[in-house]
Amino acid sequence: MKPRKPDHSVQTSFEEAGIEAPAGPTPEPLESVRRRRLSLDEYVSGVRSGDRAVLGRAITLVESNAHRDQDLAQRMLIALLPFTGNAHRVGITGVPGVGKSTFIEALGSNLTAAGRRVAVLAVDPTSGRTGGSILGDKTRMTKLSRDPNAFVRPSPASGSLGGVARKTRETMLVCEAAGFDVVLVETVGVGQSETTVAEMVDFFLVLMLANAGDELQGIKRGIMELADMIAINKAEAEHAVMARHARREYMAALRLMRGSHPAWKPPVLAVSGLHNQGLDVLWQKIEEHRRLFDKNGVLSAQRREQMRRWMWSMVDDRLLRAVRKHPAVAAQAAKLEAAVLDGKLTATLGAQAILDAFGLDSDR
């Protein structure tokens, strides 16, 4: 016979009647658990068991810039590391208006229907006033947000590529430890963020439009070279002819470029996220890429190299922050900037003065 769960309604009725309740363990109120700071063991066990409330709090801990939180976050990540690394890590970028959210929601829903557990990490522009995420991906992916086998997390970029790299990478590890076997990382689609995301995933997908005019003029060559696949989205029936034309152009362009790896020739597909067309073939290609790179050892080597670069990028990021915050640097920065802008000082000598103020010999 199974033991009965505590009946909190009975406890309440005893109190209302003014009768002393029978002796026994009193469960900690849920609100108290939510308010108090969780221990390391509670974070680790909660993430490993798939507790979504604890998962959300663990990611918030990772995103925090407070020293106290960062110490606990790093200890949590060390404990979770043995349970990471088994997911498909897919980065997704695209030109403005390409329909990334609709595409990701359709792809994610297909994957959860097939038994996958999908985490979507959407790297949003940061609100200049609040520092928070301003695009609200949970409102843009309402169906996927309600899916019990999916987890959608907008992630503020914190105004720096270092912020994107650290927070998104570490959030990805937390999601993997929670049992998500597909992690989709959506980029903001501007600046250097595409390169940053491409260096933290196994597969980088670039979405393009069929009717964008001079498509090849509107995308950087560097992004094309990072792509493991180009998918022409919104290729519905009325755009089929334009999609075929765009596909031929991209295939020709890719032949003239150095690909992401010599073992893989990036395919170009025509798909429709809105009508869920071609997404099954697209995912088959991603799995084909995974099998190939797993078999020839490239995946393992690529991830090891990503970890090495991540470590040094964190060194660069923290050193830069330390220099900018140094009192002696802060006292001279405005004057040195003005001198460089007015042409009274070269940038090299300005940098030398800043490093001297920081106490670092730049010639070493």
The yes-or-no verdict on residue 48 having pLDDT over 80 is yes
Domain 35-83 coded CATH 3.40.50.2300? no
Q: What is the pLDDT of residue 114?
A: 97
CA distances, 203 to each of 178, 199, 348 (Å): 21, 9, 39
Number of Cβ within a 10 Å radius of residue 76? 24
pLDDT higher than threshold 50 for residue 22: no
> What is the average pLDDT across 88-104?
90
What integer pLDDT is reported at residue 191 of this predicted model? 55
The more confidently predicted of residues 242 and 361 is 242
Q: Which pLDDT score is estimated for 245?
A: 86
Which residue has better confidence, 38 or 241? 38
- The residue behind tokens 């073992």 is 263
Mean pLDDT of 194-201: 86
State the residue for tokens 């999609």.
243
- pLDDT computed for residue 132 by the predictor: 40
For the cut 70, the answer to whether the pLDDT of residue 243 exceeds it is yes
Output the six-digit token pair for 306: 């990503």
User: Is the pLDDT at 188 greater than 60, yes or no?
Assistant: yes
Sheet of strand 150-156, all strands in order from the earlier edge strand to the far edge:
150-156, 118-124, 182-186, 88-94, 203-209, 229-233, 268-270
Measure the CA–CA gap between 215 and 250, rounded to whole angstroms: 9
Which of 64, 43, 68 shows the shortest CA–CA distance to 54? 43
Q: Which of 67-71, 108-112, 282-286 has the lowest mean pLDDT?
A: 67-71
pLDDT recorded at residue 249: 85
Please state the pTM of the whole predicted model: 0.80
Query: Residue 22, exposed/middle/buried by CB under 10 A (0-12, 13-18, 19+)?
Result: exposed
CATH 3.40.50.300 fits 84-295, yes or no: yes
String of DSSP letters for 287-314: HHHHHHHHHTTHHHHHHHHHHHHHHHHH
pLDDT band at 166 (very low <50, low <70, confident <90, very high): confident
For the residues of 53-114, what is the DSSP string, one character each?
HHHHHHHHHHH---HHHHHHHHHHHHHHGGG-S-SEEEEEEE-TTS-HHHHHHHHHHHHHHT
Please state the rounded mean pLDDT for residues 281-292: 97
Mean per-residue pLDDT for 316-337? 92
| Residue 155 reports pLDDT greater than 90 | no
pLDDT of residue 3: 46
Over residues 62-77, mean pLDDT: 92
User: 250 versus 79: which is more confidently predicted?
Assistant: 79
What DSSP string runs through 199-253? TTSSEEEEEEETTSSSGGGSS-HHHHHH-SEEEEE---GGGHHHHHHHHHHHHHH
* Average pLDDT score, the chain: 82
What average pLDDT score do residues 26-51 get? 78
User: For 335-364, what is each residue's pLDDT tens digit?
Assistant: 999 999 999 999 999 999 999 999 876 555
CA distance 77 to 19: 47
User: What is the arithmetic mean of pLDDT over 41-67?
Assistant: 94
Mean pLDDT, residues 25-49? 76
Per-residue model confidence (pLDDT) at position 201: 95
- Domain range annotation of the chain: 35-83, 84-295, 309-358
C-alpha–C-alpha distance, residues 305 and 199, integer Å: 9
- The model's confidence at residue 226, banded by pLDDT at 50, 70 and 90, is confident
249-263 per-position pLDDT tens digit: 888 888 887 777 888
For residue 129, which phi and psi values (nearest 5 degrees)?
Answer: -90, -45
- Residue 162 pLDDT > 80: no
Grade residue 12 by pLDDT with cuts at 50, 70 and 90: very low
Condensed to tens digits (0 to 9), the pLDDT of residues 120-130 reads 997 754 433 33
Q: Is the pLDDT of residue 210 over 50?
A: yes
